[in-house]
Structure 1
Amino acid sequence: MTTVFVEIPAPAQAAPPAALRDSPLRRILRAAPPYLYLAPGLALLIIWTYRPLVQTAQLSFYSWNLLPTSPMVPAGTDNYEQLLAAPELANAVWYTLAVIAGLLPFTVALPVVVALATRQVNGRAREWYRALIFTPMLVAPVASAAVWQWLLDPGSGAVNRFLGVDVNWLYENVPAQISIIGITGWHLLGFAVLLVSAGLSGINDDYSAAAQLDGASRWQTTRWITLPLLSPTLVFLVLMTVLLGAQWTFPLIDTLTQGGPAAATTHIYYLLWDYGFHSHQAGLGAAAGVIFFTTFGVVALFLIWLSDRISHHDD
Structure 2
Amino acid sequence: MFVELAAPAALTGAGRTVTAVSQPVAARPALARRLLAAAPPYLYLLPAVACLVLWTYKPLVEAVQLSFYDWNLLPTSPMTYVGFHKYAEVFTQPGLRRATLNTVYYILGLLPFSVALPTVIALVTRRLGGRSRNVYRAIVFLPMLVAPVAAAAVWNWLLDPTGLSNQALGWFGVAPHNWLRTEGTALPAILAITAWSMCGFATLVVSAGLTGISADYGEAAAIDGATGWQILRWVTLPLLRSTLLFLVLMTVLLSGQWTFPLLDSLTQGGPGDSSSNVYYLLWELGFRNFDAGLASAAGIVFFLVFGLIAAALVALADRFSFHDN
| TM-score (structure 2 length as normaliser) | 0.87
Q: How many residues align?
A: 306
Q: Could you report, residue by residue, the CA deviation over 1:259-308 in whole angstroms, capped at 9, with x for unpaired residues? A: 00100111000000000001111111011111111111111111111100
Structure with greater contact order relative to length (CA < 8 Å, sep ≥ 6) = 1
Corresponding residue for residue 6 of structure 1? none
Alignment of 1:16 onto 2:20: no
Could you say if the C-alpha distance between residues 311 and 10 of structure 1 is closer, same or farther in structure 2, counting changes exceeding 3 Å?
A: farther
- TM superposition shift of 1:111: 0.6
Of 57, 66, 72, the match for 1:65: 72
Partner residue, 2:241 = 231
The 3 A distance-change label for structure 1 pair 153 and 31 is: same
Q: Which whole-Å CA distance do the structure 1 matches of 2:324 and 2:169 have between them?
A: 45
SS in 1 for 2:91: helix
Question: Residue 51 of structure 2 aligns with which residue?
Answer: 44
Given the superposition, is the C-alpha separation of residues 162 and 135 from structure 1 closer, same or farther in structure 2, using an over 3 Å criterion?
farther
Q: Distance between the aligned counterparts of 1:205 and 1:220, measured in 2?
A: 15
CA contact (8 A) 2:126 2:133 kept: no
Tell me the equivalent position of 1:4.
none
How much does 1:42 deviate?
2.2
Alignment match of 2:85 (pick from 78, 85, 91)? 78
Tell me if structure 1 keeps the 8 A contact 2:158–2:164.
Answer: yes
Matched, 1:124 2:131: yes
Of the structure 1 ranges 133-142 and 215-224, higher mean CA displacement relative to structure 2 is found in 215-224
Does the alignment pair 1:142 with 2:152? no
Does the CA-based 8 Å contact 2:125-2:137 persist in structure 1?
Answer: no
How far apart, in 1, do the equivalents of 2:100 and 2:245 lie? 23
2:322 corresponds to which residue?
Answer: 312
Q: Percent identity?
A: 56
C-alpha distance in 1, partners of 2:278/2:185?
19
The structure number with the bigger radius of gyration is 2
Q: Which amino acid aligns with 2:125?
A: T
Deviations 1:180-213 (A, max 9, x none): 1110000011111111112112212222222223
Q: Do structure 1's residue 54 and structure 2's residue 61 form an aligned pair?
A: yes
Over 3 Å counting, the alpha-carbon distance change for 1:33 and 1:112 in structure 2 is closer
Deviations 1:153-187 (A, max 9, x none): 22343256248444321112231110111100000
2:302 to 266, 270, 292: 292
In 1, the alpha carbon distance for the partners of 2:40 and 2:220 equals 49
Match of 1:110 among 92, 112, 117: 117
Match of 1:137, as an amino acid?
M
- Unmatched 5+ residue regions in structure 2? 1-7, 11-19
- Could you tell me how far 1:65 is from its partner in structure 2? 0.8
CA distance in 1, matches of 2:259, 2:9: 80
Secondary structure of residue in 1 paired with 2:273: coil
What is the distance in 2 between the residues matched to 1:201 and 1:110?
A: 18
The Cα of 1:126 is off from its aligned counterpart by 2.0
Q: Please point out which of 197, 211, 216 is paired with 1:206.
A: 216
**Alpha-carbon distance between aligned partners in 2 of 1:267 and 1:102, rounded to the nearest angstrom:** 13
* Residue 93 of structure 1: aligned partner: 100
| Cα distance in 1, alignment partners of residues 317 and 203 from structure 2 | 20
Output the TM-score relative to the length of structure 1.
0.90
Once residues 204 and 162 of structure 1 are traced to their aligned partners in structure 2, the CA distance between those partners, rounded to angstroms, is 47
Unaligned runs of 5+ in 1: 1-8
Amino acid in structure 2 at the alignment position of 1:234? L
Corresponding residue for residue 252 of structure 1: 262
**Which of 119-128 and 53-62 deviates more?**
119-128
Identify the match of residue 196 of structure 1 among 206, 210, 233.
206
- Kindly indicate whether the alpha-carbon contact (under 8 Å) linking 1:62 and 1:283 is maintained by their aligned counterparts in 2: yes
**2-structure distance, mates of 1:117, 1:286:** 45
Identify which range, 32-41 or 289-298, moves more after superposition.
Answer: 32-41
Q: Name the structure where strand makes up a greater proportion of residues.
A: 2
Instruction: Give the partner amino acid of 2:24.
Output: P
Report the counterpart of residue 3 of structure 2 in structure 1.
none
